[in-house]
Structures are given as structure tokens and as C-alpha cells.
Amino acid sequence: MEYDTRVQGDGAAADLSEALHMLATHRPDVIALVRGGGSATNLAAFDAEVLARTIAALDVPVVTGIGHEVDRSVADEVAHTALKTPTACAMAIVEQVRAFADAVAGLQVAIAERVTGAVDRAGLLVDDLARRTAVAATAVLDRRADQLVDLGGRLRRGPPGILDRQAERLGGMAGRLRALDPARIVARGWSITRRADGSLVRSVADVSPGDPLVTRVAGGTVTSTVDATTADDPGEAR
């Protein structure tokens, strides 16, 4: 944003102060107050008390580049940074912007590397948990199968009525056991989703936008990031 105003003559200091106040309302990062060279009389507005008080009171830093290298005004004394010439002022601001852009780019790279590392570690954790879960589930199923075989043998030796009832019970138990097999659950189209720390996601309250997730599906895992969550009750949507 650029604002032209009188820089010499009667009322120039007041005009400069008004211009600074107007620019400050737009909340810029910095205001450059510049003027080319001139005689001491031509630069008198920059020694005015009203302008000095305005510069000192602004929340926005003011950088000055007034006159030539030999010139020094009251405005230079109260400014955040005083440069010798308008050209030097512009170069300093450009350099600060470039340095800030470089810092932001560096942070972006660092953040991306951290996120990638976290996702990789979460994937390894999920794979390990899935393996251990499968081993534990298989052990439980094997024990249940042995119990069923033993129970079936005892039922076959019992009265026919009891045998029929127990056979039905066994069928139901076997069906429930098969339904509890994680591999079967995943194969039917269901999935198991965990956060980066390995905790199970049971509801939308367990995650927040930006959270990395790892989902176990048939055939492998899917890594994703939460864009948004919506609860069943519209009043709880986030």
C-alpha cells in the first residue's frame, strides 16, 4: 500500500502524521516513511514534534529513509529503524521479507519431515498391533475349538434330547466365534482405525481435524488425515 502526502511546507508535518495514522488502520507489518534529499528547510517537517509523537505512539514499526546519507531528523531518532536513504530503506525491508520467507520454507520442510516420521512410526505400530491381535485371536479360537470338540464328544454320549439342544447351542457359539475373528470382520468390509499413538478410534470424539490415522482393511492399511468430524447430533458437529 502506498500513500502520497506533502513532505515539505506549511502543514506537511500534520499531513504526514495523518497519513501514518491512516496506514496503521490497515495493520501492516511495517510502514516506510521516505523522502528524497533536500535542504534543511525542505526536511523541516521531519523534525516536527507532532510527527515524532505519532511515530513513537504507533503500534506498527516505522522505518525511515529520509534525505541523503548526511541528513538526520527527529523522525529518524524515534523510528524503529532509521536508514540513510529511501533506497537503503527499501532494500532493508526486502531483505527482511526474504529472510522471513526462507524461515517459513524451512519450517514447512521440518514440519513435513516430522509428520512423515510420525506416520511411518504409527504404521509400524499398527502393523505390530495387528500381528499380535491376530496371534491372540487365533490362540483363543484354538482353545474354544478344543473345548467344542470335547463338549461335542460328551454330548454325543448323552440323551438324544440333550444332544439336540447342545448341538444348537454349539452351532450358535461357533457362529459367534467366527464372527469375532478380526480377519473375518475386516474381510466383510469393516475396518479398524487407530490414531498415531496406536489408540483405537471408537467415535468422532477420539479425533480432531489434522490428526493422522491408520486404518486396517482387507489386504493392508490405509494412512489418512482427518479433515473434519461430524457427530450424529448436529449440535455436536466440530
Query: Could you report the per-residue pLDDT of 155-188, keeping only the tens digit for each?
Result: 677 666 666 777 788 888 877 777 767 777 777 7
CB count within 10 Å of CB 161 equals 8
* More confident: 7 or 74: 74
For residues 47 and 77, the answer to whether their CB atoms sit within 8 Å is no
Q: What is the pLDDT of residue 136?
A: 92
Mean pLDDT of 95-111: 90
Q: How far apart are CA 202 and CA 192, in angstroms?
A: 9
Query: Residue 193 CA to chain centroid, in angstroms?
Result: 21
Phi then psi for residue 70, to 5 deg, are: -85, -10
pLDDT exceeds 50 at position 78: yes
Number of DSSP helices (H) and strands (E) in the chain, helices first: 6, 6
Q: What is the pLDDT of residue 163?
A: 66
pLDDT class of 237 with cuts at 50, 70, 90: very low
Over its C-alpha atoms, the chain yields an Rg (Å, rounded) of: 37
Mean pLDDT of 5-32: 86
For residues 89 and 65, the answer to whether their CB atoms sit within 8 Å is yes
Please give the model's pTM, rounded to 2 decimal places.
0.41
Q: Which three cell numbers stand for residue 173?
A: 457359539
pLDDT class of 11 with cuts at 50, 70, 90: confident
* Size of the chain, expressed as the number of residues it contains: 238
Three-state DSSP class for 208?
Answer: coil
Helix (H) or strand (E) holding 195: strand 192-195
Q: How far apart are CA 148 and CA 178, in angstroms?
A: 13
Neighbouring residues of 71: CB distance < 8 A, sequence distance ≥ 6? 37, 43
pLDDT exceeds 80 at position 209: yes
pLDDT exceeds 70 at position 222: yes
Strands 212-217 and 220-225: antiparallel
